[in-house]
Structure 1
Amino acid sequence: MSDRPYIFCHMGTSVDGKIMGRYMDTQASQGAGEAFYRIAFGKERFYKHQGWLSGRVTTDDNFTLYAKPDLIPDAPEVPEGDYVARQSDMYYVSIDPSGRLGWKDHVLHYHDTTADVIEVLTERASNDYKAFLRRLGISYIIAGKETYDYDQMLKKLKEKFGIEMLMLGGGAVLNWSFLQKGYCDEVSIVISPAADGSVKTQSLFMEKEGLSDDTPVTFQLLDVQRTEGDSVWLRYKVDHAQ
Structure 2
Amino acid sequence: MQRPTIFCHMTMALNGKIVGNYHQAAGAAVAGQTFYHAAFEPGGAFDPNEGWLSGRTTTDDNFTFYEQPDLDLNAAPVPAGDYIVPGTHPKYYFAIDPHGRLAWHHHQLQYNDTTATVVEVLTNQASNAYKDFLRRQHISYVIAGENQLDAPLALDKLTRSFHLKRIMLGGGGVLNWSFIKQGLCDEVSIVLIPGADGQADAPALFQPLATDDQQQLVNFKLISATPIEDTVWLRYAVL
Decide: shared fold, TM above 0.5: yes
Structure 2 residue aligned with 1:13: 12
Structure 1 residue aligned with 2:83: 83
Aligned residues: 237
Give the TM-score normalised by structure 1: 0.94
Given that 1:16 and 1:197 are in contact with CA atoms closer than 8 Å, whether structure 2 keeps it comes out as no
Alpha-carbon distance in structure 2 between the residues aligned to 1:144 and 1:210: 18
What is the CA deviation profile of residues 1-25 of structure 1, one whole-angstrom value per residue up to 9, with x for unaligned ones? x711111100000111111111101
Alpha-carbon distance in structure 1 between the residues aligned to 2:195 and 2:123: 39
Structure 1 residue aligned with 2:152: 151
Q: What SS class does the counterpart of residue 142 from structure 2 fall into?
A: strand
Alpha-carbon distance in structure 1 between the residues aligned to 2:212 and 2:198: 27
Q: What SS class does the counterpart of residue 117 from structure 1 fall into?
A: strand
Structure 2 residue aligned with 1:38: 37
Shift of 1:56: 0.3
Stretch of structure 1 that moved more, 73-82 or 204-213: 204-213
Given that 2:25 and 2:193 are in contact with CA atoms closer than 8 Å, whether structure 1 keeps it comes out as no
Given that 2:20 and 2:199 are in contact with CA atoms closer than 8 Å, whether structure 1 keeps it comes out as yes
Taking the TM superposition and a 5 Å limit, the aligned residue runs for 1:147-186 are 147-186=148-187
Structure 2 residue aligned with 1:51: 51
Given that 1:123 and 1:146 are in contact with CA atoms closer than 8 Å, whether structure 2 keeps it comes out as yes
Structure 1 residue aligned with 2:218: 217
Structure 1 residue aligned with 2:26: 27
Alpha-carbon distance in structure 1 between the residues aligned to 2:215 and 2:25: 32
Unaligned runs of 5+ in 1: none
Structure 1 residue aligned with 2:61: 61
Alpha-carbon distance in structure 1 between the residues aligned to 2:79 and 2:215: 41
Given that 1:9 and 1:188 are in contact with CA atoms closer than 8 Å, whether structure 2 keeps it comes out as yes
Given that 1:180 and 1:212 are in contact with CA atoms closer than 8 Å, whether structure 2 keeps it comes out as no
Unaligned runs of 5+ in 2: none
Shift of 1:214: 4.8
Structure 1 residue aligned with 2:93: 92
Query: Counterpart of 1:24 in structure 2: which amino acid?
Result: H
Stretch of structure 1 that moved more, 82-91 or 125-134: 82-91
Q: What SS class does the counterpart of residue 184 from structure 1 fall into?
A: coil
Question: Would the alpha carbon gap of residues 84 and 212 (structure 1) be closer, same or farther in structure 2, given more than 3 Å must change?
Answer: farther
Shift of 1:199: 1.4
Alpha-carbon distance in structure 2 between the residues aligned to 1:212 and 1:28: 36
Percent identity of the aligned residues?
49
Alpha-carbon distance in structure 2 between the residues aligned to 1:28 and 1:234: 16
The ranges of structure 1 where at least 4 consecutive aligned residues each deviate by more than 3 angstroms after the TM superposition are 210-214
Given that 1:219 and 1:237 are in contact with CA atoms closer than 8 Å, whether structure 2 keeps it comes out as yes
Given that 1:177 and 1:212 are in contact with CA atoms closer than 8 Å, whether structure 2 keeps it comes out as no
Given that 1:119 and 1:141 are in contact with CA atoms closer than 8 Å, whether structure 2 keeps it comes out as yes
Given that 1:32 and 1:231 are in contact with CA atoms closer than 8 Å, whether structure 2 keeps it comes out as yes
Question: Would the alpha carbon gap of residues 82 and 235 (structure 1) be closer, same or farther in structure 2, given more than 3 Å must change?
Answer: same
Q: What SS class does the counterpart of residue 82 from structure 1 fall into?
A: coil
What is the CA deviation profile of residues 46-103 of structure 1, one whole-angstrom value per residue up to 9, with x for unaligned ones? 1121010000000000000001000011201111111111321210001101100001
Shift of 1:110: 0.2
Given that 2:56 and 2:95 are in contact with CA atoms closer than 8 Å, whether structure 1 keeps it comes out as yes
Given that 2:26 and 2:194 are in contact with CA atoms closer than 8 Å, whether structure 1 keeps it comes out as no
Shift of 1:197: 3.4
Query: Counterpart of 2:49 in structure 1: which amino acid?
Result: H
